[in-house]
Amino acid sequence: MATERDLVVLGVGMHPWGKWGRNFVEYGLVAAKAALADAGMVWRDIQFVAGADTIRNGYPGFVAGSTFSQAMGWTGAQISSSYAACASGAQGMQSARAQILAGFADVAMVIGADTTPKGFFAPVGGERKEDPDWQRFHLLGATNPAFFALNARRRIDVFGDTPDDFAMVKVKNSKAGVANPYARFRKEFTLDDFAGSPIVSDPLRLLDICATSDGAAAVIICTPEYAKAKLGTLEGTVRIRAVANTTPTYPQVRLELPDIATDSNAVVAAPALGFKDSVAHNAYEQAGLGPEDLSCAEVYDLSTALELDWYENLGLCPEGEGASLVRSGATALGGRVPVNASGGLASFGEAIPAQAIAQVCELTWQLRGQADGHQVEDAKVGLAINQGLFGHGSCTILSK
């Protein structure tokens, strides 16, 4: 069922993920040119450019919209540059979508790319004692893996999950990622491989935690009218049904990066829906769909345990039953609702501003039936969800 707010995905493109050690702009140009070729367009056709920012690549990374526009060649197009941590790509998607729905453009490109340092992300430089991100590193020594481990320990203590349950997420995702030409780690891991990997932050092992990666992704979106004029028909096109950029509701009683304490609910009751539950809920409401309609989902598996959380946040199973769901095979390729058929962050690693855009690329290929080797059978509706630091929730729903 189409709505007046539906937009069409006209083209998608990616640069493979890896550790290439080159300028992030180079990756972005590859992705942009691939998206243009996929859409059968040239650069001067793009009316609006939404760049997803990277904060570890100097000033050009802070103004990604103009950086990529200049690198591709100035055309006078309108631009935006957005930073929302891991949700930057979805923020860029919403910026482009809003411009089109407001009537300021008919077609837009969303683009993000990153070059990352070795190892886990360190704090951004400078002495910023009132910055919660600075505080969690310098007061607690809480790197990202430490936060992921706290979440995993909570699942063990509250729901009875086991490290073997977490391992099954890695095994599942690595099997799917083997066939993905854009994935960095195209190796299938076994439970024995998992058991042999070193502990990084108890209870999580090295294979529980996603790497940091270089990579880029781009998506071209447009009005249905523009797509029909370009393609001659709308049959078989992929539609954007929802983009939800959701923030928490006070009081937030679940610890989320980068905070080192939760809000108190001594006076004000906690909301009925937690933060990550509300991200999916808002997207479902926009799209007029529910979890029962999903053919597949791409979720932000920064750690294996976090993927289990996302199952529950999406309504694929009740709270606390994520481990049972992965054990059942329902979220594997061939299961009831495959999750991370791309291989997920387990196979890609994280290129922050590109990741949410890459999720949309993957879902577009799935809905077109072009995900060779990791295709979800008869995919009709796909959902991508992630979260950025400081309360940036993002969820995009696509359908054909």
pLDDT per residue as tens digits for the range 50-99: 999 999 899 999 999 999 999 999 999 999 999 999 999 999 999 999 99
Give the whole-angstrom CA distance, residue 302 versus residue 298.
12
Q: Which one has a higher pLDDT value, 142 or 162? A: 162
Q: Which two tokens stand for residue 319?
A: 């709270």
Q: Is the pTM of this model over 0.85?
A: yes
- Residue 6: pLDDT band (50, 70, 90) is very high
DSSP H or E stretch at residue 360: helix 352-368
- How much is the average pLDDT of 4-22? 95
- Residue 104: pLDDT band (50, 70, 90) is very high
pLDDT of residue 4: 77
Q: Is 70 exceeded by the pLDDT of residue 123?
A: yes
- Residue 200: pLDDT band (50, 70, 90) is very high
Q: Which domains does the chain have, with CATH numbers?
A: 5-117+212-236 (3.40.47.10), 130-179+187-204+240-397 (3.40.47.10)
pLDDT of residue 2: 57
pLDDT of residue 386: 95
- Residue 257: pLDDT band (50, 70, 90) is confident
Q: HSE-up of 295 (CA within 13 Å, CB side)?
A: 18
Give strand pairing partners of 52: 82, 112
pLDDT of residue 261: 86
pLDDT of residue 267: 92
Digit-coded pLDDT (tens) for 222-238: 999 999 999 999 999 99
Q: Could you give the dihedral angle defined by the CA atoms of residues 372, 377, 379 and 382, in that order, rounded to the nearest 10 degrees?
A: -70
- Residue 243: pLDDT band (50, 70, 90) is very high
- Residue 273: pLDDT band (50, 70, 90) is very high
Digit-coded pLDDT (tens) for 289-341: 999 999 999 999 999 999 999 999 999 999 999 999 999 999 999 999 999 99
Q: Which two tokens stand for residue 243?
A: 């983009």
Digit-coded pLDDT (tens) for 160-198: 999 999 999 999 999 999 999 999 999 999 999 999 999
Q: Is 70 exceeded by the pLDDT of residue 343?
A: yes
- Residue 31: pLDDT band (50, 70, 90) is very high
Query: Who's near 359: CB < 8 A, 6+ residues apart?
Result: 89, 298, 342, 384, 386, 396
Residue at token pair 């962050």: 345
Q: Is 90 exceeded by the pLDDT of residue 128?
A: no
Q: Indicate the residue type of 160.
A: G
